[in-house]
Chains A and B, each alone.
Chain A
Amino acid sequence: MSSAKLKLLVASTAAAAAVWGCANMGGGMAAKSSNGIPLGSSGPHVVQPLPDRPRFGQPISEADLVAWNIDIRTPDGLGLPVGQGSVAEGKKIYEANCIACHGADAKGGSVYGAMVGGIGSFKTGARVLTPGSMYPYAPILFDYIRRSMPMDRPQALAANEVYALSAYLLNLNGLVPANAVMDQNSLPRVQMPNRDGFLIDDRPDTKAVRCMTNCK
């Protein structure tokens, strides 16, 4: 290894230790990501030092990854494709593809529970989780339906069909009118009731003490 490369390796290892060392100093849960997510403690970093970093990856263009690039950044809908679908179209597509497992009007069927209702239930003793009550952002519907549904042939629906199913489920949950049409502009603008229902991990939250004798 050349001395310049060795210096670089030492410097980068020291920098890593400086960044991560704090995670092991008396509070693993204290280390947080730039967005405030607790990271836990740092892991081991013993790797074989290499004079030259091997490179086996083959360059590829984003254009050649287009069929794989299906994720939607759900708060703002980044990644939503061109296309559109209405509530009425969604009802037909639902009845052809979804009703067998999810039941009529998405009220629950032979395999899965209801996908409607539950709004307002979270402060009761029986929280009802549906896309309407739970999803903070409407584009989650598009992302999840496209990647996972229908269960027997996922990633088979066209963008227009996924928009239509999203519109239909939002309408059944009372979140868009019966004449609504969903597309890459309208879907992210649907206001979901649980939008502000989440708080970022703030554990450890329990205060157990290590009592040894006559504890209760």
Chain B
Amino acid sequence: MSNKPERDSVVRSRRNFLRRTAALTGGALAAGGAARAAQLPIPPTNREPGRVIDETAYGMPSKYESHVMRRRTDVLKNRQNLSDWSMTPLQHQPGIITPNGVVFERHHSGTPDIDPKTHRLAIHGTVKQPLTFTMDDLVRYPSVSRFHFHECSGNGLTDWLKPASTTVQQTHGLLSGILWTGVPASTLMEEAGIDPRGKWVLFEGADGSAHTRSIPMEKVLDDALIVYAMNGEALRPENGYPVRLVIPGWEGNTSVKWLRRIKVGDQPWHFRSETARYTDPMPEGKWRQFSMVMECKSVITSPSGGQQLRGPGFYEITGLAWSGAGKIRAVDVSVDGGKNWREAMLEEPIMDKCLTRFKVAWNWDGGPAVLMSRAVDSTGYVQPSVQDIQKVRAIVGFVQHHNAIQPWSVNAKGEVRNVIGQA
């Protein structure tokens, strides 16, 4: 599969959109001077039957949507595919839910193929009674379903001080919106019996990396979920089948996939995954540890990098905003590189630790523009610029937790480009 960035991805949809808009407004907005359409013939699909129902098939998208797929970054190429990632095509996602086939992937040693009949989940350590659960056991508990964003802490790490990526899939595609279904972790912890000495909880995967993180007990008992379904079906293998942890609002790798073991202890384990990795460079050679909340962030998904505007006129600027610290309170949009801002419309529903869709109407005058979005969350925290972050952290090497404002430039030809660090 190609690693090349996808270009001109909105050309078709923009052209159709403009045609529809022109129809609705009597052509007043068709500033490009579109010619009067020719008489429409009867489409051939009206003149023949379609495909018969394949009553046992799992449905797939139209063949005309084959460009909508996960992609690896073409900026930073790993020399293997086991500890690697693929990214969600956010430029093609309307609304706030990511289809399961394009939810981003990040594995530390590939995707295991786990038989749910033999899979076991164990809870032990500082609990009153160690327990094991089968998958049949887990699905018998009262379930909860919750919408949350899911974001890798490394989202955006290739694009801090100068543009390297072309599309929003490459700059922000380690992000997905998912309806998770499972059992509150507190249900299982309480059944094993909570010991007051238990302050931290280890979660370990059944994959080849046995990926492991230490999570504070308070967070586990608050809103952590033991999840077996996403977006209305069983977890996909690459997203943790048959069972995973979900830690709402925290960096993606804390939500350990292919979960097999939970162990309670009185302090964190300080694994490689929470010391040598998933820590943030700070001034004076230091590293910030246990920075697990994904802070408030937003990005414009259309128009976005690699897209092409089809002449001046109306465009809807739209994108996504989210915060691991609560709900989105507001999103502001600028079309002049951050000099002036106006508040965008937020589309309901607006949910806790979930993607929120924002929209602003824009009449492009055909001149150069720089589009930006800036989110504010329910704690009052304002999404920073790269410069704001640079004042307090060290931007050196592979830097995690990039929640800065993303600028997209539009030139007179309508070409949309990533100008991070330049605007």
Contacts and interface: CB of A to CB of B under 8 A. Distances in A.
Contacts of A62: 124, 130
A209 interface: yes
Interface string B201-243: 0101000111010001111001100000000000000000000
Contacts of A41: 249, 325-326, 352-353, 378-379
A42 B124 contact: no
A33 B263 contact: no
A47 B109 contact: no
B47 interface: no
A47 B271 contact: no
A68 B132 CA distance: 12
B382 interface: yes
B324 interface: yes
B332 A212 contact: yes
A48 B384 contact: no
B285 A206 contact: no
Contacts of A3: none
Contact of A198 (B218, B289, B337, B381): B289
A59 B128 CA distance: 10
A35 B384 contact: no
Contact of B293 (A39, A47, A122, A212): A39
A28 B388 contact: no
B159 interface: no
Nearest to A139: B270
Interface in A163-216: 194, 197-216
Given A137-B270, A154-B109, A60 B132 contact: yes
Task: Determine the interface band of chain A, counting residues with CB < 8 A from chain B.
Answer: 35 or more
Contacts of B137: 56-58
A203 B293 contact: yes
Q: How large is the interface on B (under 10, 10 to 19, 20 to 34, 35 or more residues)?
A: 35 or more
Contacts of B82: 151
A35 B216 contact: yes
A73 B142 contact: no
Contact of B188 (A34, A48, A57, A69): A57
Given A28-B379, A58-B131, A58-B132, A148 B269 contact: no
Contacts of B340: 212-215
A56 B132 CA distance: 9
Contacts, number: 264
A75 B265 CA distance: 14
A197 B53 CA distance: 62
Contacts of A112: 79
B131 A50 contact: no
Interface string A121-160: 0110111010100111100100110011001001100000
Nearest to A145: B272
B10 interface: no
Nearest to B137: A56
B200 interface: yes
A30 to B, nearest CB: 8
B225 to A, nearest CB: 9
Interface stretch (A19-27, A80-88, A91-99): A19-27
A209 B382 contact: yes
Given A41-B249, A57-B123, A211 B341 contact: yes
A29 B138 CA distance: 32
B184 interface: yes
A187 to B, nearest CB: 14
B218 A34 contact: yes
Interface stretch (B32-40, B92-100, B276-284, B414-422): B276-284
B324 A40 contact: yes
Interface string B178-189: 000000100010
A202 B222 CA distance: 21
- Determine which residue in A58, A61, A110 has the highest number of CB atoms from chain B within 10 A of its CB, and name it: A58
A41 B379 CA distance: 9
B288 A202 contact: yes
Contacts of A143: 269, 271-272
Contact of B219 (A33, A46, A200, A209): A33
Contact of A207 (B204, B383, B388): B388
A111 interface: yes
Contacts of B378: 24, 28, 41
B270 A140 contact: yes
Contacts of A202: 288
Given A33-B216, A39-B293, A210-B376, A197 B130 contact: no
Nearest to B293: A40
A212 B140 CA distance: 52
A39 B218 contact: yes
A85 B389 CA distance: 45
A34 B219 CA distance: 11
A112 to B, nearest CB: 8
A148 B109 contact: yes
A112 B272 CA distance: 16
Given A206-B389, A208-B384, A35 B267 contact: yes
B7 interface: no
Nearest to A38: B293
B305 interface: no
Contact of B210 (A39, A155, A204, A209): A155
A123 to B, nearest CB: 4
Given A28-B379, A122-B286, A199-B282, 13 more contacts: A24-B326, A27-B379, A28-B378, A33-B216, A39-B219, A57-B129, A59-B130, A71-B269, A126-B396, A127-B396, A144-B272, A197-B287, A212-B340
28 contacts: A28-B378, A33-B219, A35-B199, A35-B216, A38-B292, A38-B293, A40-B249, A41-B326, A41-B352, A41-B378, A50-B142, A58-B137, A59-B130, A60-B130, A68-B260, A75-B270, A127-B281, A127-B397, A140-B275, A143-B271, A148-B108, A148-B109, A154-B209, A199-B287, A207-B384, A208-B385, A210-B374, A215-B341
